[in-house]
Chains A and B, each alone.
Chain A
Amino acid sequence: MEASMKTDTFKMTIHMVSSLDGFIAKKDNSISWLDTADRYEDGVAEEDAGEFMKTIDCFVIGARTYEHALELSKDFGWPYGDVPTIVLSHRKLPVHRNNIQIYSCDLTTLVEEHLKSRYRNVWCVGGAMLVRDLIRQQLAGEIRISVIPVILGDGLPFFDHIGREQALHLKGITAYKSGIAELWYEIKKNTGPVQNK
């Protein structure tokens, strides 16, 4: 498997930031836990996130993630820039840019008919329901999870009862000076019969 982030083949990556106990949000939505005062001296410095983002050619997000991003954009700017952004929703949502498309089809159709022929490096950045469905349906190729050095105890889980076992292959670990550990997994294709959802 090619280790580089740029590939010639289609790849869907799930990216999430979570606590050690697997929560992506606290019940009260407070996010101060995302910036811990931890320091890991042997860690690497922050990479150039801007360079990294340039390799992503499509974002896929759920409806609620989109609505929050739209709220945020009013004062702080649209997060996904000019990169094509696909929103999965059965609801009618306001669309403010040419590069945003709302799809209400099933995920397999989206990936097979719309994404595979057009994009190479697709990132799913939430939310939890979309992540669950992508893993269940074996449509994502990789998971990158940034683990914040904290146990939240309660909140919105990253992996919400996937309901099936999924083998992974560890591709890399990066430890940052901030105490964040990034785990990078390849989702192995299950060869056995697909279990019920």
Chain B
Amino acid sequence: MERKTKINAEEGRQELVITREFELPLELLFKAYVDPEIVEQWMGTKVLKLENKKHGGWQFETSDPQGNVVFRANGVIHEFVPEQKITRTFEMENTPFPVQLEFLEFEKLTSDTSRLRMHILFRSVADRDQLLQLPFAQGINMAHNRLQNTVEKLKQDS
């Protein structure tokens, strides 16, 4: 099994570039990031708020089966260009981990394929490296496989 999601993390830098080519039309790939129902399905989280606009905010929450909150994340949307880009912040609630800045770029490759490029800036190299532990590369690839499968299924059902 080869990883389709590529991760570029140069040593000593506080940034990370993640790219993935999906076998999904651009509009469906973009939907996977803006449609709350689809986000919930592939990310496995609950979307409390997702305002897809400049100055909008988002908040996701994940609970255990008993309803206790395991973690909550939120951020602000700085730029929102449909089917092109989303610039947003990401912050974990109630943790000392500093906020990070994320540039998401969506690109059409063919009528059936598209590319996602995530450029993420961390406050420090140490903050980035903390995330970059095993099974990061494998895990993010699997999460992206999940995205692909979830959206594909929606496409077939509709």
Residue of A whose beta carbon sits closest to that of B120:
A75
Interface residues of A in 138-184 (CB under 8 A from B): 144, 146, 156, 176, 178, 180, 182
Contact status of A28 and B129, CB under 8 A, knowing A50-B149, A127-B134, A182-B2: yes
Contact status of A76 and B139, CB under 8 A, knowing A32-B10, A53-B145, A94-B70: yes
Q: Is the CB of A31 within 8 A of B137?
A: yes
Chain B residues whose C-beta falls within 8 Å of the C-beta of A94 in the assembled complex: 64, 70
Q: Is the CB of A75 within 8 A of B135?
A: no
Chain A residues whose C-beta falls within 8 Å of the C-beta of B11 in the assembled complex: 28, 30, 32
Cβ-based interface call for B133 (8 A): yes
Chain A residues whose C-beta falls within 8 Å of the C-beta of B92 in the assembled complex: 74
Cβ-based interface call for A194 (8 A): no
Contact with A along B69-106 (1 / 0, CB 8 A): 01101000000000000000010100000000010000
Residue of A whose beta carbon sits closest to that of B150:
A81
Chain A residues whose C-beta falls within 8 Å of the C-beta of B152 in the assembled complex: 50
A173 to chain B, nearest CB (A): 14
Cβ-based interface call for A73 (8 A): yes
Q: Which of A32, A52, A77, A95 contacts B9 (CB 8 A)?
A: A32
Q: Which of B6, B44, B73, B133 contacts A68 (CB 8 A)?
A: B133
Cβ-based interface call for A87 (8 A): no
State in angstroms the CA–CA spacing of A54 and B142 once bound together.
Answer: 11
Cβ-based interface call for A113 (8 A): no
Contact with A along B111-138 (1 / 0, CB 8 A): 0000000000000000001011111111
Q: Is the CB of B143 within 8 A of A78?
A: yes
State in angstroms the CA–CA spacing of A27 and B158 once bound together.
Answer: 47
Cβ-based interface call for A106 (8 A): no
Residue of A whose beta carbon sits closest to that of B149:
A50
Chain B residues whose C-beta falls within 8 Å of the C-beta of A98 in the assembled complex: 65
State in angstroms the CA–CA spacing of A28 and B2 once bound together.
Answer: 23
Cβ-based interface call for B154 (8 A): no
Cβ-based interface call for A126 (8 A): yes
A46 to chain B, nearest CB (A): 5
Cβ-based interface call for A8 (8 A): no
Q: Is the CB of B143 within 8 A of A79?
A: yes
Could you jot down 18 A-B contacts, CB within 8 Å? A17-B138, A30-B9, A32-B7, A34-B3, A48-B23, A53-B149, A72-B131, A76-B43, A78-B44, A78-B143, A79-B139, A81-B146, A97-B64, A126-B134, A126-B135, A156-B134, A178-B2, A182-B1
Q: Which residues of A contact B (CB under 8 A)?
A: 15, 17, 24-25, 28-32, 34-35, 46-50, 52-54, 65, 68-81, 94-98, 125-127, 144, 146, 156, 176, 178, 180, 182
Q: Which residues of B contact A (CB under 8 A)?
A: 1-4, 6-11, 23, 42-45, 62-65, 70-71, 73, 90, 92, 102, 129, 131-149, 152
